[in-house]
Structure formats: C-alpha cells, structure tokens
Chain A
Amino acid sequence: MVRYSFKRLKDRFERIHISLVQNLAKAISHPYIPNSEFKTKQSMLKELRIENIDELYLDVPNQYRLKRRLDLPRTKSESEVKHHIESILKKNTTNQDMPVFLGAGCWPHYVPAVVENIIQRTELLTAYTPYQPEISQGVLQLLFEYQSLICELTGMDVANSSLYDWASALGEAARMANRLTGRQEILIPQIIHPERYATLTTYMEPVEIRAEKVKYEKDTGLFDLQSLEDKVSDKTAAVYVENPSYLGFIESQGEEIANVAHDHGALFIVGVDPISLGILKPPGDYGADIVIGEGQPLGNHMNFGGPLLGIFACSGEIAMIRQLPGRVIGMTTTQDGDNRGYCMVLQTREQHIRRHKATSNICSNESLCAAASAVYMALLGPSGLRDLGETITLRSHYAMKRLSEIEGITTPIFQSSHFKEFTVNFEERGVQEVHNKLLEHNVHGGKDISTEFPEFGRTGLYCVTETHSKKDIDNLAEALEEILKEGGV
C-alpha cells in the first residue's frame, strides 16, 4: 500500500493545478492578439509545417533562450489595470487640488476641449510618420499648418515640424550655427535654465562647441551689452538670448544684440515662450536667424514635464534651410498638377537618407503635440492670443504687487518688465521652509532657485497664468503673510 503524506498530496495537487492553469492560459486568446486564438494559431503553425512556436526560435542560441517567466505581474483584466493605475495616481496632488505657482519650462495653461478632442481622434493618434503621403494627407496638412502658424507667430519664414523640447532644440540650434559658421563658440545669457544649459552642454560637448556666459546687468537682469562686446569675436558662432528670460523678465535689447552678433558674422538665436507672442514683438522683427522655444503652453498639458514640444524656426535662406534639423513638411501638387498636396521634404538632410552625414539623428519627434498646438493657435487666433497675453501679464503683475506689499518679501528682484514669471525673494527665510508651510495652506509655491543662483539670495521663481484666479493669488498672498509673520522655525 502506497502511503501519501499530506504534504506530498498537496505538492502533487499543486503541480497538476499549475499545469492545468498553464495550459488554460495558453489556450486563452488575448484581446490585443487575435491570432493567439487556439485554432487560428494551429492552422498557421500547420501552414508553416511546425508543431509549436518555439521552433521559430531555434536560431536563438540555446544559452540565450529565457528558460523562466519574466518577473513581471500576471496578465490583468482591463478593469484591474484601470483600478490599479488610478489608485496609484491618486497619490499625486495636482493643480486641481491646490493652486501651483510653478513654471520654469513647463507651465500650467488651459487646454481647450477642441484641442483635446481633435488630437484624440484615432486617425491622427494611431498613425505613423507619413512615409506614404498620398494616404496621410491629414497629418501632413496639419503639420504644414503648424509650421506656417509658428512662422506667423515668431516672424520667421520656415519652421520644422517639431523637436523634442526647448532644451534639445537649443542643442540642435548651437550645432546648426556651428555647421553654418564653422565656429566653435556660442554666447549665452548667464541667466539661463540650468536644465536647458545642461542639455545644451550634452549636445555641444562631442563636437567641441563651447558656451560662454554673457553677464547680466545687476539691476535689470538684462544682457550686459558691454560684456557681450567683450566676449563676441570672429570665433562666435551664435549669440543666444531668451525672451522672456528664465527668470521672467523681458529682454528688451533684442535689436542691439542682433546687431552685435551680425556685425561679427555670428547668428542670432532667440528662445521664446510662444504664448507671449500675442503681445510681444516676434523675434523675426528684431533680427533673429533661428527661433527656438517650448511649445507646450500652446495646447499641451504639463504631464509631469513630457511630452513637450520643441519649436525650431529659421529665416528662409537656402543655406539655412539645408542645415535645418528634423522633419519638414512642404506643399506641392499631384504629379498631374491638378491638386494640392503635402509631403515630407528635403529628406536628404535626414538620417534615413544621409545617415552619418545627417543634420540630426532625430526620427520620431513630437508631431501630435505640434498638431495640438496648430489646433490651439487656429482656435485662439490673433485676438485670442492677444487677450491671453494681456490676461497673463495683468494677473502676474497683480501677484507681484500683492506679494511685494508683504513684509519680508521683495518681488521681483529685477527692475524690468515681466511677463508671466517673476522672482520672489524671502530675505530672512529659506525658500524651502516657506514652501513647506505653504503646502500646509494647500498652496504650492514656485521653484526654489537659491542653489542655482546663490547670488540672488533666498529666491523662488513664481509663475502666474490665466489658470490662476484673483482668489488663488490672494490666497497665496494671505498664506505668505501669515507664514512670514509667524517667524522662523
């Protein structure tokens, strides 16, 4: 008589159970994978005269075939996935739960329902790069319109159909200036976003382009023209400024800087927040050769900082156009000349044709974000963008005024005109300490820049847009007043 211990019985049962479950799992057809259905799969295997799919992997050397299950969760139902992810995301607190006064390269702006609706249309969302133009006219015309709208907004002749973000666009712009001039030096403002600067460095280092920082005027933050004159030379590939600057003030010496750059045979590159261009002078009007910027404010959500939208536009000389990085869409006609149509152009600049001699390695870009921006610009039109620019300016100035009335705060630290961001100096109190207390008041302060720019003391960079109501701003002011009155910890 064979005696089974309970444990052995249990083990045996479990083994049978596992093999049953495994077989069952193999037989279940996955909703995303139609041919995983058993009979279809069998008929296809039969067609290939094989017994099982592993025979298709016999050319993978045995020692590299994975003999175990990947250590990942098991297949889940849609409702489980939804519940799981939503419950994790719930741990976030967003600007819908508390006013957030952060900007610094990613800004809270309202995204109209029309924009959301159009870019969620599956025809645009689930399309690939328009390699076959005749069947992809929708995306192509949309991107041509994006390029055209960006040209109008920035005052340039040509724009590409997007790069990753402002920071990488700056890297590409520096390399383009280097290719055009054969020079190895670019002059940049000392007041620049540290992440943008870090990205620029990453893009420049392999080709040995150096960045020289131009000093700012102590009182205004503006480009110190004397420092610019001192540094500019026939080695300068380009002079770069940002408008509005990283710290929110408007650089009003565009023309003077352009002249200095051009007098030395250098290019003039301007980085912009495009949402300011409804009311601010377009860089094309003050001599820019290349305009880059962050297109996220034009109809794209913040999404924790990505995807963003790198704007890249330039003047229309053929030498410039030949050095453009990224995809460009052009308008043409059908071969019979009867109809208008659109296709990707100047592909001989790009990696899939020119390979190691391409102007950039970029392939996938941010087309859908560009599409969102096109819809946004079309929706707002000139009057909408002007109204928006005014609203933002008035609200941010109201915030500066309100905060500057508080004892212990100086804002802004520069005597310049500002657009939507501004510096707030807390004099005696640490920014982080104040911000922690603000969170207790359910308000999120700006970005602490005390370590980035120690010369400005205990300073935060605040951002106010059309999404911040008067009440939000008043709440911020009242909370700060209370916090600063309480004294330090």
Chain B
Amino acid sequence: MKDFKQARWNEPVIFELGRQGRRGFIVPKVEGLIKECVGDIGTLLPEKMVRKSSPELPELSEVEVVRHFTRLSQMNYCVDLGLYPLGSCTMKYNPKIDDLLAHQPSLTQLHPYQDEKTIQGILEILYVLGKWLAEITGTFEVSLQPAAGAHGELLGALIMRAFHKLNGGLSERTQLIVPDSAHGTNPASATMAGFDVVIVPSDKNGCININALREVVSGKTAGLMLTNPNTLGIFEENIEEIAEVIHEAGGLLYYDGANLNAILGKARPGDMGFDIVHINIHKTFGTPHGGGGPGAGPVGVSQQLESFLPIPRVVFDGIDYHLDYDKPHTIGKVKSFYGNIGVLLRAYAYILSLGSEGLKTAAEISVLNANYLLKKIAEIGAYDLPYDTERVRKHECVFSVKGLKQETGVTALNVSKRLLDYGIHAPTAYFPLIVEEALMIEPTESFKKEELDRFVEAMRRVAEEAKATPETVLKAPMNTAVTRLDEVKASHPKTMILSWKMHQKRKKASR
C-alpha cells in the first residue's frame, strides 16, 4: 500500500498572528450627510453601555486570514479525499451541484419574514420536499423544522408527550423504551422530553429481545424508539410483532432515521407501523456535514399525529403557498423560523437528481458494499463478527477487535488510529455498546470496489502488524498532522484549555 502523509503546518493559533494596525476588511463608510444629520456616535449610545476597550481579537490582513484558514483546511480529512466508513454516520458523496444551487442569492438573500408573495419559490421547494419525504418514509405529513437528527428525536418525543397529554394519559405514561443498541441521542432525547428511559436488551441475534420487550411494556409505556436496520446493521425482522406489542399497550413507535439509507425505495418505516420518523438529511440525502453540522432532521408522522407538528406549516391552496400558524394542538416550536433551509434545498436537489430509481440504487449498493466488506473483512480472520455470522447485514456491519486484543494487546482504538496512517478514516469505534471493542463500518454507496478492497487490505495489514510489530499499531498514527493526542490532559480540570483566554491565564499562573 502506498504511503499517505497528511499536510502538517504547525500553524499558530490565530491570536498569535497579525500585527497591530493591520486590517482584513474595510467597512463601507457612512455617507457624510448621515453624519451631519445624526451627529456623533458618542451621543447615540448610553455612556455606561459603550465598550471601553476593544475586544482582544487579532489584527490581520486579508491575505494572512486566507493563508491561515487554508492551511488549517489542509490538515483535515474529508469525504472528498476518500473512504469515511463511520458507522451510522452515512458519509456519502456530497454532490457539487447541490452546493452550487444552495449558494444562489435567490436563496441566500431571502429573509424568513418576507411577504408570502415574495417567497413563493422557496415555499414551493419546502412544500414539495415535505411531500417527497413523506412518500419516502411512508408517513402522512412532515415537518422540516428540526435542525439535526437529535433535534428531530426531541421533537418526536415531544409529539409523543403531546399525544398522551391530549388523551389524558401523560401522567401514567412516563417511560420511553430504548434498545441497548440505540444511538446515545435516543435516551438523551427521551430524557430531554421528560421521560424515564427503560432499556430493553438485544437477543442473541442482535435484535430486540421480544420477550424482554413484553416484560417492560406496560401502561407506563409512552413509546419505543427504534432504529431499523439497527446499529448492528441487522434488520429487525420482528418489527410487526414489536409494533403490535407497543401499539397494544397504547404506546407509539418511533423510527430513528439514522439508518434509513439502507431501505430507500425498498421498504418504508410508515408501512412497518412506525408512527413518528425522523430523517437525517445530512446522512441519507448527501448534504455536507461541515465538520459537525449543520444538518437537518425533518420529522414525519402518521395521520393521527399530524396536528401536533410544529408551526408554521407550509400549505398549498392550489394556487399559492402559505405559512400556516393556526394549529391548536401543535407542540409549538423547536427553533426559530422554519428549519435549516440551506441544507434542505440541497436535499431537494439530491432527490431530484437521483429520482426514485436512483434512491433505490443508492440503498441497494450501500447494502451490497457493506456485505462485500463484511465478507472480505471476515476472511482476514483477525476480526470477530459478533451475532449471527450467516445473516446478511444492511448498510453497515460491526466487527469486534476483542480477539485481536487478547492475542496482541491491540485495541479497537489502536486499529482505528493505524488506519489513519493508511489515509483511511477510521470506522466508528466502541459503538454499539453491546459489542466489545467494536468497529462499526458503513461504506455507503459512494465508494468504488477498488477503494473497498484497499480498505480491506489496510485492515489485513493492521492485523498482521498487530501480531508482528504491535509497536507500529500502538504508536499510530504517525502520518497524520499530529501524532496521538493527550485527550486525558485535554479534559482534566487542572489542565484543560477551552479558549485562548484560558490558555493565557494558565500561562500567567505558571510563571
């Protein structure tokens, strides 16, 4: 395998750059007549609220700013550089046309409170996108308001709350059930929405233990949050029974859309009995993740829950599009305005580009790629495949480094770090929690077979190195911008530095 070497710039913190008096931007001068008319700025502001000393920001020329941030960008891996097999993160290709369209002034320069006559274009896009997402998920109505997947989960849990409240059952229905294989956001969202979290274990096949589920379900059950296919990449084939158990108990079934990519055009959560579905736009519909966000987390619901969706809703009267605030049962708002429109526009473009056939192909190839990797990595013989080894996975698969660790001392973390040296981003490590030393691998549909083969080859190499020269793996990474970081020091109350100001204070104190 060819060497990889990431750029390394030793770039100072921006506060260490620049020089007093340098300027990076010229603010337009105020017309002389304005000054004559309103007088001196000093007379316009209350004396006690005037900033006495300038904020201690660096003073840089435009050129320095560009160089600094360009250098930083070179020390960052991204999906346009190569495989990014983070499980449950669906790091697929982000089409360039979508970015281009999202930068049109006809979108970027729109104010959310403009008169409806002047925003018919964007309302049409949002209205149609909502319909498309409802069709894809098999739900009745979609809200585009949540800013991210977890935000959608919060909204979903709040809708459950509102539903039970309206039916007079909220005081009893205090529990939200979450499988032990769930994403961390599920229990966190449930708590934020005021529910107690009840964990249901997985069975030996990696699916929800249906008997255990029956035991925890009761009149206290508000609902169940489920990812399907689950975080092991396994389709919860008992979904019909699960839905029955929950619905019979008077609960609602929530679909965590993190893994929706696997079933686009193949199956729909709404058809499986899910009442509430969130969609991770930045995963399933190929919008760039921007180093952590923004995403978008639309929520679709069944007909009986439609009235609880946040306001406003985009409606169409056959001629014009409107924003409808008149929804008496609405949960209200989860954020200002209507959602992350810049992200949603990209999703519209993505769905339009792929169309129904293309979306289905995306799902199919993502599953093909995952099962191909599963077979090839299993053949290496160094990584264990927990749960049913014969069973097909969907969009992702989870291996365990437990065996290799026992044999060589090399952990999932070490394997991850060593992969970076080969210019491949590591899989999600140590998740799901039910797998020891887990490596969760999601290739998506966006990578060619040769690239998958190269990943398998890297996994093989790392396993060989773990046995022959474990030091190489334990010391990794060596080819990235920096070597292994001291993350313990970074989070220790006595040594942590969370801002430049804190850094300066610590420096002063140590002098």
CB within 8 Å for A199 and B114 given contacts A85-B352, A364-B149, A385-B55: no
Residues of B within 8 Å of A306, CB to CB, are 112, 147, 294, 335-343
Number of interface residues of B (CB under 8 A): 211
Does A489 sit within 8 A of B, measured CB to CB?
no
Cα separation A277 to B135 with both chains bound (whole Å): 46
* Chain A positions within 8 Å of B95 at CB level: 32
Given known contacts A108-B109, A129-B292, A305-B337, A360 and B52 CB-to-CB distance under 8 angstroms: no
B265 and A363 contacting across the interface, CB-CB below 8 Å = no
A351 and B425 CA atoms in complex are apart in Å by 22
Q: Of B14, B148, B294, B342, which contacts A362 at CB under 8 A? A: B148
Offer 8 A-B interface pairs, CB within 8 angstroms, sorted by A: A43-B449, A92-B122, A106-B337, A149-B14, A328-B498, A383-B23, A394-B41, A401-B38
| Whole-angstrom CA separation of A389 from B468 in the bound complex | 63
Q: Which of A158, A364, A374 has most B Cβ within 10 Å?
A: A364
Interchain residue pairs A-B with the least CB separation, the first 9: A206-B194, A368-B290, A305-B337, A305-B112, A138-B76, A367-B292, A91-B121, A361-B188, A332-B490
Q: Would B50 and A279 count as touching, CB distance under 8 A?
A: yes
Determine, out of B245-253, B359-367, B399-407, the stretch whose residues face the partner at the interface. Answer: B359-367
- Determine which of B37, B293, B341, B417 lies in contact with A398 in the assembled complex, contact meaning CB atoms within 8 Å: B37
* Interchain CB contact under 8 A, A81 and B499: no
Q: State the Cβ distance, A20 to closest chain B Cβ, in Å.
A: 15
Q: Are A254 and B483 in contact (CB under 8 A)?
A: no
B293 and A368 contact, CB distance less than 8 A: yes
Binds A, one of B57-65, B210-218, B299-307, B459-467: B57-65
CA distance A40 to B31 in the complex (A): 65
Which chain A residue has the least Cβ–Cβ distance from B125?
A88
Q: Is B289 an interface residue (CB 8 A)?
A: yes
Interface hit among A1-9, A210-218, A342-350: A342-350
Number of interface residues of A (CB under 8 A): 209
User: Is the C-beta of B167 less than 8 angstroms from some C-beta in chain A?
Assistant: no
Q: Are A302 and B349 in touch, CB under 8 angstroms?
A: no
Contact B117 A439, beta carbon cutoff 8 Å: yes
Chain B, range 228-275, C-beta contacts under 8 Å to A: 234-235, 237, 239-240, 263-268, 271-272
Question: A30-B354, A280-B45 are known contacts. Are A364 and B289 too (CB-CB below 8 A)?
Answer: yes
Which of A75, A78, A158, A381 has the most CB atoms of chain B within a 10 A radius of its CB? A381
A113-142 contacts to B (CB < 8 Å):
114, 116-139, 141-142
Cβ < 8 Å to B, chain A residues 349-365 = 350-358, 360-365
For residue A102, which residues in chain B have a CB less than 8 angstroms away from its CB? 111, 113-114
Chain B's nearest CB lies how many Å from the CB of A306?
4
Q: A227 in the interface, Cβ–Cβ < 8 Å?
A: no
Q: Does A223 contact B (CB under 8 A)?
A: no
Are B294 and A368 in contact, with the CB atoms below 8 A? yes
Residue A47, interface by CB 8 Å: yes
Knowing A66-B268, A126-B289, A417-B44, the reply to whether A164 touches B335 (Cβ < 8 A) is yes
B13 within 8 A of A: yes
Partner pick for B352 among A81, A123, A303, A371, CB 8 A cutoff: A81
Say yes or no for B431: interface residue by CB 8 A criterion: yes
Interface residue B470 (Cβ < 8 Å from any Cβ of A) = no
**Cβ-defined contact, B334 with A168, below 8 A:** yes
**CB–CB A118/B271 < 8 A:** no
B510 within 8 A of A: no
Contacts A64-B267, A382-B56 given; does A308 touch B336 at CB 8 Å:
yes
B54 — nearest CB in chain A belongs to which residue? A382
- Alpha-carbon separation in the docked complex, A199 to B311 (Å): 11
A481 interface residue (CB < 8 Å to B): no
CA distance A335 to B478 in the complex (A): 12
CB distance B46 to A250 under 8 Å?
A: yes
Chain B 124-165, CB-CB to A under 8 Å as 1, else 0, gives 110000001001100000000001111101100010010000
> Is A425 interfacial (CB-CB < 8 Å)?
no
A220 vs chain B, min Cβ distance (A): 11
Give which listed residue, B30, B86, B500, contacts A151 with CB less than 8 A: B500
Out of A136, A350, A384, name the residue touching B25 (CB < 8 Å): A384
CB-CB under 8 A from A230, the residues of chain B are: none
A197 to chain B, nearest CB (A): 9
Within 8 A of B (CB), among A154-188: 157-159, 161-162, 164-168, 175
B15 at interface (Cβ–Cβ under 8 A)? yes
List residues of chain B with CB within 8 A of the CB of A382.
Answer: 54-57, 59
Whether A61 lies near B490 (C-beta < 8 A) is no
Interface residue A104 (Cβ < 8 Å from any Cβ of B): yes
In the complex, the answer to whether B446 meets A316 with C-beta atoms within 8 Å is no
Does B192 contact A126, Cβ atoms closer than 8 Å? no
Q: Say yes or no: A48 contacts B362, CB within 8 Å.
A: no
A40 touches B448 (CB 8 A): yes
Partner of B34, one of A78, A119, A285, A394: A394
Residue of B nearest to A128 (CB): B289
Nearest Cβ in chain A — how far from B472, in angstroms?
15
- Say yes or no: is A486 at the interface (Cβ < 8 Å to chain B): no
* Residue A458 at the chain B interface, CB threshold 8 Å: no
B49–A332 CB distance below 8 A? no
Q: Which of A362-388 contact B (CB under 8 A)?
A: 362-369, 371, 374-375, 377-388
| Set of chain B residues within 8 Å of A353, measured between Cβ atoms | 184
| Contact (Cβ within 8 A) B294 A333 | no
Residue numbers in B under 8 Å from A226 (CB-CB): none
- For A44, what are the chain B residues with a Cβ–Cβ distance below 8 Å? 368-369, 372, 449
Please tell me if the beta carbons of B483 and A335 are within 8 angstroms of each other in the complex. Answer: yes
Contact status B369-A302, CB under 8 Å: no
**B380 CB-CB contact with A under 8 Å:** no
Q: Does B328 belong to the interface (CB within 8 Å)? A: no
Of A55, A85, A126, A151, the contact of B79 (CB 8 Å cutoff): A126
Given A252-B49, A301-B108, decide whether A74 and B501 contact each other with a Cβ distance below 8 A. no
User: Please, which residue of chain A has its CB at the minimum distance from the CB of B331?
Assistant: A202
Query: Quick one: CB contact mask for A291-322 with B, threshold 8 Å, 1 for yes?
Result: 00000000001111111100000001010010
**Considering only CB atoms, which chain A residue lies closest to B485 in the complex?**
A341
A393 to B46, CA, bound (A): 12
Residues of A within 8 A of B25 (CB): 112, 114, 379-381, 384
Q: CB of B326 within 8 A of chain A?
A: no
Please measure, in the bound complex, the distance between the C-alpha atom of A286 and the C-alpha atom of B49, giving whole angstroms.
9
B293 close to A162 (CB less than 8 A): yes
- 6 other contacts beyond A123-B81, A138-B75, with CB at 8 A cut-off? A32-B358, A85-B352, A139-B72, A206-B158, A363-B149, A466-B27
Contact assessment for A378 and B368 in the assembled complex, using a CB-CB cutoff below 8 Å: no
Contact A355 B498 (CB under 8 A): no
Q: How far is the CA of A348 from the CA of B51 in the complex (A)?
A: 37
User: Is A341 a contact partner of B500 (Cβ separation < 8 A)?
Assistant: no
Complex interface: chain B residues within 8 A of A125 (CB): 78, 94, 99, 288, 290
Is A351 a contact partner of B184 (Cβ separation < 8 A)?
A: yes
Cα distance A61–B235 when bound, in Å?
Answer: 10
